[in-house]
Amino acid sequence: MNLEQAKARYPGATTFTFGDSAALCTELLALVRSGRKTATCGALREFQEGGETLPELGRRDIALDWAGRPALVIETLDLRQCRFDEVEADFAMAEGESADLPGWQRDHRAYFERNGGWSPDMLLVCERFRLVEDFLGETDV
């Protein structure tokens, strides 16, 4: 399915890409497909002043692969903002990327340092989601 078809199938959906490299994007899409990744977060600054569109409860959005092709669709189930140093272990584990909270903190600190800076009190947009459709053929609607 191409992007135009995906947008027609999910009117109102925004598009986004997981991660900041082809390798990380591929890894995160695989984690979503496997069911291990049911949450994600981003720095609040990424959603301000012409940045990314904030997730919305109940909206279905299209995750792209690194080449810009539709990979899967997620539906936002829960949203909250919190400081980096207030992220709890259950949310960190729902991101599916680390074995424990200290690992999540280490990996996400490195990510944010690469992408605009990090501080313990930086605000994050924390999203829980469910996989709706995998354009490789697996559907969970």
Q: Residue with structure tokens 């049911």?
A: 38
Number of domains in the chain: 1
Cβ neighbours of 7 (radius 10 Å): 15
Residue 53, in any domain of the structure: yes
Of 6-10, 18-22, 49-53, 73-77, the one with minimum mean pLDDT is 49-53
Please report, for the domain that includes residue 43, its CATH number.
3.10.400.10
Reported pTM? 0.91
- pLDDT, residue 49, reads 76
Is residue 139 very low, low, confident or very high in pLDDT (cuts 50, 70, 90)?
Answer: very low
CA geometry: angle 104, 113, 27, nearest 5 deg:
50
The Cα–Cα gap between 2 and 66 comes to: 14
Percent of the chain past pLDDT 90, that is, above it, reads 90
Residue 139, in any domain of the structure: no
Residue 140, in any domain of the structure: no
Q: What are the helix (H) ranges across the chain?
A: 3-9, 22-34, 89-94, 101-114
DSSP helix, strand, coil percent of the chain (3-state; round to 5): 35, 30, 40
Question: 45: which residues sit within 8 A by CB, 6+ positions away?
Answer: 51, 116, 122, 123
